[in-house]
Every structure is written in structure tokens, then in C-alpha cells.
Amino acid sequence: MSTPRSDRMTLVAFMQASNVSVFSGSWRYPSTAPDYLDLRYYQRIARTLEDGCFDLMFFDDRLAIPAIYGDSVADAVKYGARPIKLDLTAILGAAAAATDRLGLGATYSTTYYEPFHVARTFATLDHLSGGRAAWNVVTSVNDAEAQNFSVDAHSEHDRRYDRAEEFIDVVTKLWDSWEDDAITGDKESGIFADPEKVHALHHRGEFFTVRGPLTVPRTPQGRPVIIQAGQSGRGRDFAAKWADLIFTGDPSQKAAAEHYREQKELVAAAGREPDSVRLLPMVYVIVGETEQIAKEKEAIFLNELVHPLASLTLLSEVTNHDFAGHSLDDVVTDELIDSVSGIRGLVQGVKRHLGDQPLTLRVLANHRATLLQGPRFVGTGAQIAEQMGQWFESRSCDGFVVAATHFPGSFEDFVRMVIPELQQRGLARSEYSGTTLRENLGLERPACAFTAATHEVPAGV
């Protein structure tokens, strides 16, 4: 069945369960709330997002304090360059309790976690939230994460994706291991569930051995929504095969439009309906009552609050490369880029975007929280809605992952100033149409792969 392209943007709020937003100096901003260790902080933001009818509250993750720069956590800790990352399960549970319709997404690593654990976590969240769970599938980024999970170094790029392929295959089978109508709960007869409809996997693969079934029955969405944000060739192929939502990081509309076209072709080549998969670029939004106010805010976040060492620390972190031996004025050469093993595509993207301008480490570090992963939309609500509309209408995206300068003010401003402008243009909803996240996204509920004539383990679910 063909899915028509929605005439409404998909809106995702990009959240960090941390002392900072993606802007590493944000903890110093006067109206940044300091209570990020209190569950009410997350509940308040979730309610704001639901008031604005966002599709999804999404949390990123990293499994280590930044430690690549100078082989030490000292600068990250000293300058508050994201030394804190809370586990996301409890936070999403709290957000679920405070809302009714908002989707709830978290990042879990296929490199350092186990499929049974991840399948169980998201199935549980899907039940408790009434069908609002989403999993961002990442392969993780650097050696500091590896070293917290009994491994010396982050494994090689394509091996990580080999493992991710087997991982997600097992997770989706576990989610399907209880058929939808397995539980009858017949108190009279004493029969709780039909064992014929609860399936073991007996999976034996290269990376995992999983007997199954899952300890959680099939969930309201059938399968929680799958998010993927890989930018490499392997990452894009993986996303084309598995993702419902694809997060991208392109610095310009031209790059985003090209990426959009290429990725939709990959989705079609994977045998899926291109418009059933949403491409959502990350965008940094800074909104003000006037353009002047927005620009002043931008200058504060980019120039005044960030310590250069905090930027370098985070740059080392995403590239998995220790820049401690370099001066800020060193030129970033092609050889240097080739030696980077983390998110290499991000550095290449900035270099392409700058064209002939020399790329020094200072420039790269300053772009770390901005150009690397998306454009910056700065201005009044109307100006921002205009830009977002242009991207959407020109098929450069299906919606956005909106990054905040600070919490909770950024999303409060966005809902107050940008959402009404998008609604007026018919680009954002003013009420939720469905109950589950899949329904609100207009995505089909996947059929259970085991609900077939045969009760064998299905191949290639």
C-alpha cells in the first residue's frame, strides 16, 4: 500500500539528559534551569512539548564522560563540557507519566548493549506509555565508551554495523515473540496464555545467542518506532532497511535536498515505500520576540559562554581523535581528517561547507555545536517558520529535529512563538489525531512476523 507524503512536518525535540544542551556552555546561561537531576524538570519540558503537539521528545546518549582530549576527563569536568549523562529509561518513564500523546525516544547502543535488554526496555516503555516508545539505534562513537564496557578500543566502523544488523534482527524478533492475541487471561479455566502463540527464537549468530521469547508481550505499537542517524554509506543502508525516522545532519538546504533524494532512493531500493520513512535534519533554532533579540542570544551562546577547551574536548569526543597536541591555529589537513575514526563525515561536511576558506582547529571547534550537524535558524517565530517551510516544501526534509540552546526556555519559546506560525501555515498540527506514536506519525502498525501458518522462526523479519 502506498503512503502519501504528509502535508504536516514531523517535529522532534532534541533533548539531553545532562547539565548542558548541545551548546556546551549552556549551563552558564542565566535562565538555564539547574535541576536536571530532578524528574520534574523532564516532566515540565515534556508537558511543554505536548502543548505544542510535538511528535517526539527524543534524548541522545553517550556512554562516557568526554575523555579523548588529553586522555583525561579533566577538561570536560572542569568546564562542564557534558560530563553528565543520565540513564534514559527512568526519565522516559517520568515523561510518560506526565503526558498522554507525546512520543518518547531514547538512544541505546548496539555496540555496548545486548539485544534482549534493549528489546525488553523499549517493549516495557511502549506498554507503560500506551504505545509511544521510540529507539534510536546507534553504534556509538569512541574509545572512552569502549573502555567503560570492558573493551580497550571502539571496534572498526563496518564491524559495528555488522553487529548492529544482527542486533536489530534479534530485537525485532523478540518484539514479535508474543503474538498479539497470545494472552487470553481466562480466570475460569485457569489458562493465562496460549503457548502456541509465544515463540522461542533459538537464535545463534556471529555476535549473539538468544533463546527467547521476550518476557514482555507484544506492545501497542507492535514494534516501537525505530530511529537511525548514521551518515556513512553503511549507516544510510542500515537506515533504509530498518528506520521509521532518519535523523540527518546537513549544514545547508542544498546538501539536505541531495541527501533527501539519495536516502529516499535507498529506501525504495530496500523495497520500502519512500514516504513511509521520514527524513529529519537537525536544526539549531534560536527564536526571539524580535530578530535583534534572537541574534543577541545567538552571540551569547556561540561566543560568550563556550570555553575553547570545552569545544576541543567535544570535538575530540565526536571524532575519537586526541587534539591535545595541536594548537588552535593548526590547519586541519586531509591527512588529519583521514586519521579521524569517530564521526568522520561531520568534519568532511564542515570542510565542504567552508569551501576555499582554510579550516583551522579553532574554526572547527567553534562549529562543533552548529554547522557540524545542521543549519542555524535565528529570528522571530515568523522568520523561523518561513525557513522551516521552505525546507519542507522543497522536499529537503519531512520535518526537523529541533535542537535547543537551553532548557527549558528554548522549547517554551519555540512553542509560544514558532508553533503558532507553523500551525497558521498548515505545517504543524494543533491536536493529536491518534493515540500511539505510530498513529500520530501516520505509520502502519507492523504485523507480527510469527502470526503466520507456520510457527517456525521467520527468516529476515
Question: Residues within the annotated binding site for FMN?
Answer: 61, 107, 157, 161, 232
Should residue 404 be labelled a site residue for ligand FMN when binding is judged by CB under 6 A?
no
Q: Which residue number places its CB atom closest to ligand FMN?
A: 235
Residue with Cβ nearer ligand FMN (216 or 401): 401
| Cell 588529553, located at residue | 70
Least Å from the CB of residue 94 to ligand FMN: 19
Should residue 140 be labelled a site residue for ligand FMN when binding is judged by CB under 6 A?
yes
Residues 24-83 that bind ligand FMN (CB under 6 A): 60-62
Question: Per the annotation, where are the binding residues?
Answer: 61, 107, 157, 161, 232
SS3 278: strand
Residues 152-211 that bind ligand FMN (CB under 6 A): 157
Rounded Cα distance, 151 and 172, in Å:
26
Q: Kindly state the helix (H) or strand (E) to which residue 133 belongs, with its residue range.
A: strand 133-138
Cα-Cα-Cα-Cα dihedral of 104, 110, 113, 119, to 10°? 50
Residue with Cβ nearer ligand FMN (125 or 282): 282
Least Å from the CB of residue 317 to ligand FMN: 10
Nearest to 99 by CA among 59, 61, 135, 54: 54
Residue with Cβ nearer ligand FMN (343 or 448): 343
Angle at Cα 400 formed by Cα 397 and Cα 402, nearest 5°? 155
Least Å from the CB of residue 230 to ligand FMN: 3
Residue with Cβ nearer ligand FMN (60 or 179): 60
Out of 11, 277, 282, 312, the only residue in the binding site for ligand FMN (CB under 6 A) is: 282
Residues 77-136 that bind ligand FMN (CB under 6 A): 107
SS3 292: helix
Nearest to 406 by CA among 334, 306, 324, 322: 306
Residue pair 294/380 in contact (Cβ under 8 Å)? The answer is: yes
Residue with Cβ nearer ligand FMN (129 or 140): 140
Should residue 401 be labelled a site residue for ligand FMN when binding is judged by CB under 6 A?
yes
List, as one string, the DSSP characters of 60-83.
---SS----GGGSSHHHHHHTSS-
Q: How many residues bind ligand FMN, per CB under 6 A?
A: 23
Rounded Cα distance, 156 and 341, in Å:
9
Rounded Cα distance, 428 and 5, in Å:
14
List, as one string, the DSSP characters of 428-449.
S-SS---SSHHHHHTPPPPPPT
Least Å from the CB of residue 257 to ligand FMN: 16
Least Å from the CB of residue 367 to ligand FMN: 15
Should residue 349 be labelled a site residue for ligand FMN when binding is judged by CB under 6 A?
no
Rounded Cα distance, 343 and 391, in Å:
25
Should residue 345 be labelled a site residue for ligand FMN when binding is judged by CB under 6 A?
yes
SS3 157: helix
Out of 67, 118, 285, 343, the only residue in the binding site for ligand FMN (CB under 6 A) is: 343
Name, in order, each residue with C-beta under 8 angstroms of 46's C-beta and a sequence gap of 6 or more. Answer: 57, 95, 98, 99, 102, 104
Residue pair 381/287 in contact (Cβ under 8 Å)? The answer is: yes
Out of 56, 125, 134, 138, the only residue in the binding site for ligand FMN (CB under 6 A) is: 138
Backbone angles phi, psi at 126, to 5 degrees: -65, -40
Residues 208-237 that bind ligand FMN (CB under 6 A): 229-232, 234-235
Residue with Cβ nearer ligand FMN (107 or 410): 107
Residue pair 48/410 in contact (Cβ under 8 Å)? The answer is: no
Least Å from the CB of residue 232 to ligand FMN: 3
Residue pair 359/328 in contact (Cβ under 8 Å)? The answer is: no
Residues 240-279 that bind ligand FMN (CB under 6 A): 247-249
Residue with Cβ nearer ligand FMN (149 or 432): 149
Least Å from the CB of residue 321 to ligand FMN: 14
Residue with Cβ nearer ligand FMN (69 or 112): 112
Residue with Cβ nearer ligand FMN (16 or 129): 16
Least Å from the CB of residue 93 to ligand FMN: 19
Least Å from the CB of residue 162 to ligand FMN: 13
Least Å from the CB of residue 83 to ligand FMN: 16
| Cell 535534519, located at residue | 281
Residues 356-385 that bind ligand FMN (CB under 6 A): 373
Cα-only R_g, the chain: 22
Rounded Cα distance, 374 and 401, in Å:
10
Residue with Cβ nearer ligand FMN (201 or 347): 347
In the complex, the residues that contact ligand FMN under the rule CB under 6 A are: 60-62, 107, 138-141, 157, 229-232, 234-235, 247-249, 282, 343, 345, 373, 401
